[in-house]
Structure 1
């Protein structure tokens, strides 16, 4: 297998530039020679040209200056011949430079995309912070309610507090629920446990107050179904704990966890139409 004397890659014998002084062969592209150019039989590679002993060149005119054969005329610049020495190195340099520029363009594009993504993320965070600041007035009510239940809760422990659901006019006069997210889970568990210990807890103007875990939509529907079936069968206990729905028929009986409607039918029996 023949390799190029410049780049070392595979070289086909067809169209290669063969040196007349050494066995090396070259790609025309590595020598900055056109693919359609013909290579003479006396052609010498750049390495061999460097080793050729040069003769007396004292009468050789300065490169790039042409002396007119007519006496008295000013010398004129003439086009310098195309240099072949180091042409392969220059081609490789140009190729590496082009590759570097392409990588820089790609890097710049990625940086612009990253900047846009970060800017969008910061806008989202700022909007979220604005929303939290608007919801903070509810945090004072949450801390006051917790104090009445005997739980020490500061405003910094309330991540956010907001009212959800339809307005009272559309809900038949029923007050909107307040959804609260606390900084630590143990605070949530302590607040729920205190609320269960005061089931008849009432507010000054709100009437009776219920404090429950906020469930996912699926678990809310499942909990509502479980409550209906327990009332129908006169099961005494239905509650939630850390997102789990639990039922028990009476004090001291077995506790069952409900994960789906099939669990409701398995534990409480098929629903009556």
Structure 2
């Protein structure tokens, strides 16, 4: 049980050496409350202030001021001082009891307030749980209605189908927009394909040599970068990876593409390569989506005998014959619109494109 200090009526500290007990009345005090320093050792003859005030004082019989023999006085007769000490002790006990009752009443009041707060929290929690249960009931009813209407072929299912179709259309549109933006970033680049890949090669030197064979003298300052694209191919006889050449100006790229269209059937002979001569080609650099789509368009057009398939600024066009209108193809669904559902075949799973 926690004990309170008889002087300040506060709970005693549990720290050893912080409290002191009176050997006469057995009451306990804080050392600070009775004027004892915390680190001092209390002697065995120490007594609390109340007990010390009740102790009889020294009579000092040899003092000449005494007019009567104190030792021969009747022990039954009590002096006014002793009565006053008894009254003071009784008053201190009553005051200590009043302090304890007041502290107990304060603790009970605080406990009552805490119980009120706990009751309010429980009430709010009960209300929240009831609200969640109501919402779950409504969700279950809605799901049950949806399942019933879907099983019966109601109109709700068709509404959901329309919403899903609209979302799919938006996603497809966003994919097309992103692909167009990626293609814009490649407007200053060309792709050199068919050039053999060798160890220790200098891609920029190869690109400049290929441009020279096309009749264009490029300066290294007009080249931003030149590197092989895609993962290395370890298979024997595999096609070499293309070279991606990025130029500083777009007009230089356009001039290089025009020269490549005029001078066809050029080979790598004279480029200083150790491999045997083989034809190389220079085309526009396409995104991965446009590259796969261009491959599929060429396959379909060749099977249906459409004569013209080309790209311009990253856009793919197709024409059946000379004088016929040109059609732009942005996605695979455009193949069905242009070539018809019977003429379009699904692309092979592995096309070898990077």
TM-score with structure 1 length normalisation? 0.47
Structure with the greater alpha carbon radius of gyration: 2
TM-score with structure 2 length normalisation? 0.37
Which has the bigger relative contact order, CA under 8 A and spacing at least 6?
2
Structure (1/2) with the larger helix percentage: 2
